[in-house]
Structure 1
Amino acid sequence: MPSTLRLAALMAGCALATVACSPGEQKAKAPSAATAPAAAPKAAPVQADRSPLAQAVETAGPQTAPPADPTAISPALARVQVLLDRARFSPGSIDGVTGTNLKLAIEAFQQARGLTVDGEVTPDLWKALIEADGGPVLSDYVITEADAAGPYSKLIPKDDYEAMAKLPALSYTTPLEALAERFHMDEALLSALNPGADFGKAGTRIAVAALGPRELPAKVTRIDIDKGIGQVRAFDAQDNLLAVYPATVGSTERPAPSGELAVNTVAPRPTYTYDPSRLTFGKPKGKLTIKAGPNNPVGSTWIDLTKDTYGIHGTPDPKLVNKRASHGCVRLTNWDAEQLGAAVEKGAKVRFLGAEARAG
């Protein structure tokens, strides 16, 4: 687990203790309306001159033929992923390609809607998704001066903690990366939808996923973490399912805990402290602190739990969620961690369920 300083903020301050998977020193408090993520950027009016792939995504349905290459982008799967994301059954990074996270999101949606649970893109799934939300799945967005300006960080290997510690912030490395995360998309899909687009030029019009509201409809009072399949489920006080997220949950070397914990506090923009005396991974020989930012090793949000060293947090690698082991914590995409962090409060129950954590 990636840090040695544990957040234990209680109301107005924070007490520090040594741990292995929490962010570094950070004053934080449970989120309120003032600290919740801002509303999604307003989309420009839809344009008719979209790429063939973008047009295919918007019109895909049950009869859309899958691509001959199963690893190629499927317009139908891209549309399904956007609709699932808007229904708060997160498929993780929207990439238009089949995979475990998409299957888990479909299964959760099917179960919630009383459909046959098989994880497949069936006519019944299409019918339920479109009846629930038949709106366009793409919006047009005009890149702003702020999007183009950044600031952006130098690209550094994810395991080079010493080089990362020298940066003033762990910001996105390119406008493409920043825009892809803002719209919950994989960079490859965003590029494919907008061939030839200059993502670093203000005024460029691009097609992006049309997202739903960022805020959950109620406060989260319970979080279930399924270690067997790699999934986080959020519930309100009436036991209503609010959202489902794919997650990396621990590893064989450092498995996630079992039983019930609780949320201690939430820290937006956490720092990350590496201490080789406490860790079994990494190359640095001395203690160092990595600044905050979405490419920080714990991403853009840290949800501290009431067991030393454990938390729920974001990641600099959204496409690897539930595909690569963590150092004991629960890893979500940055956008899913931000949504959950904005809705959960101190004291919310956190239950670790299922079989041993996935090895990656």
Structure 2
Amino acid sequence: MKRIVLLAGLLCLAEPALAAALKPDAINAAEFSGKIPTEEKLSPLAVKLQVLLDRAHFSPGEIDGRFGENVEKALLAYAEANALPPGKALTPEIWAKLKANSGDPVLAQYTITAEDLKGPFLAKLPAKMEQMKTLKHLNYTGPKEALSERFHISQELLAELNPGQKFNRAGDAITIVSLPPEAMPTPAVRVEVDKERQTVKAFGADGALLAFYPASVGSEEKPTPSGSLKVDTVDANPNYRYNPKYKFSGVKSKTPFNIKPGPNNPVGAMWIGLTEPGYGIHGTAEPSRVSKSDSHGCVRLTNWDVLRLSRMVKKGVEVAFVDDQQAAK
């Protein structure tokens, strides 16, 4: 019994320590001292780094406060784009460059509004695609999910930054990621999808790398196309039409069916259709799984990343599917 009480005491001591470490002041003041945070636990430095990368349009995917694979991918792309020494890890040179280009605090206060609570919301997102076809919309499951996506942050981290908050009362002040207003983006003339690295890059007319995104790119069962395609359509809030010819695992329907629009639609909030029928770049209802799970042959980004990319492309823009060796040339 003593051991159980002791363990419980240790757990109680650990929780306030974590909350203290993730206070806004600690995150805003975080500095890189040469020690890389681990992926296993939340880190003030990891939060700040992810926000700085997101602001620079070198997306770490979902801002979750962990130094994971998507952060490493974004750091590598940022180093290459800025002619800095490349490497999987954070370096003093990369940190200095990121900070120099973004001096504002990375966290801020936001007041929940009546509009945030308005909905309509889903009581629960069905696990199976066939169960979605009768729903009138594929909206968020509640204000917490909606706020998390608006500020590019995981629901877990949003809760850690706001202990005890239920995100259901207008007028409450909460801590969120501070993202500056989006400027008019430079048009992209070429999009590169790296099938091995699971990444997407957008390039300008001068060859400069404009933006980087982690992605889920196909699977062994449903591989992505090869070679070069072109953007055919750019559709916000798309309906999703399932064709039995896709033969998705877990879908039994022998007839086509439609799924209504919404950010939790199977293709998320945006569809960038390609000239190969049935293939596109799109969003997802599960931002935490981007680059960490397979897709059904398309290119899957977070909803906010595909929205950013959609503002940079138009019909006719090249989308090249490459592997590591081709991308290195």
Give TM class, smaller chain. Answer: 0.7 to 0.9
- The alignment status of 1:299 with 2:268, answered yes or no, reads yes
Q: Among residues 204, 217, 233, which one is paired with 1:265 in the alignment?
A: 233
Matches within 5 A, 1:34-183: 52-63=22-33, 70-158=39-127, 160-183=128-151
Q: Give the Cα separation in 2 of the matches to 1:226 and 1:277.
A: 26
Counterpart of 1:319 in structure 2 is: 288
Letter in 1 for 2:23: L
Letter in 1 for 2:172: T
Could you tell me the TM-score, scaled by structure 2's length? 0.88
**Residue-by-residue CA offset, 1:180-212 (whole Å, 9 max, x unaligned):** 000011111111011111311111111111113
State the identity %: 45
Q: Give the Cα separation in 2 of the matches to 1:90 and 1:332.
A: 10
Counterpart of 1:189 in structure 2 is: 157
Could you tell me the TM-score, scaled by structure 1's length? 0.81
User: What SS does the corresponding residue of 2:304 show, helix, strand or coil?
Assistant: helix
Instruction: Answer whether contact 2:268 2:282 (CA < 8 A) is retained.
Output: yes
Q: Among residues 227, 230, 238, which one is paired with 2:195 in the alignment?
A: 227
Q: Among residues 343, 346, 353, which one is paired with 2:315 in the alignment?
A: 346
Q: Give the Cα separation in 2 of the matches to 1:101 and 1:280.
A: 26
**Residue-by-residue CA offset, 1:125-175 (whole Å, 9 max, x unaligned):** 2211111212211121111101012111121333x2232111110000011
Of 279-288 and 54-63, more deviation after overlay is shown by 279-288
Matches within 5 A, 1:282-293: 282-285=250-253, 286-293=255-262
Offset of 1:355 from its aligned partner? 5.3
Q: Give the Cα separation in 2 of the matches to 1:207 and 1:65.
A: 26
Q: Give the Cα separation in 2 of the matches to 1:277 and 1:112.
A: 41
Q: Give the Cα separation in 2 of the matches to 1:151 and 1:101.
A: 32
Letter in 2 for 1:343: M
Q: Give the Cα separation in 2 of the matches to 1:212 and 1:100.
A: 25
Number of aligned residues: 305
RMSD over aligned CA atoms reads: 1.9
Q: Give the Cα separation in 2 of the matches to 1:308 and 1:289.
A: 17
The answer to which structure, 1 or 2, has the higher relative contact order (CA under 8 A, 6+ apart) is 1
Q: Show structure 1 runs of 5+ residues with no match.
A: 1-49
Counterpart of 2:180 in structure 1 is: 212
Letter in 2 for 1:208: I
Q: Which has the higher helix share?
A: 2
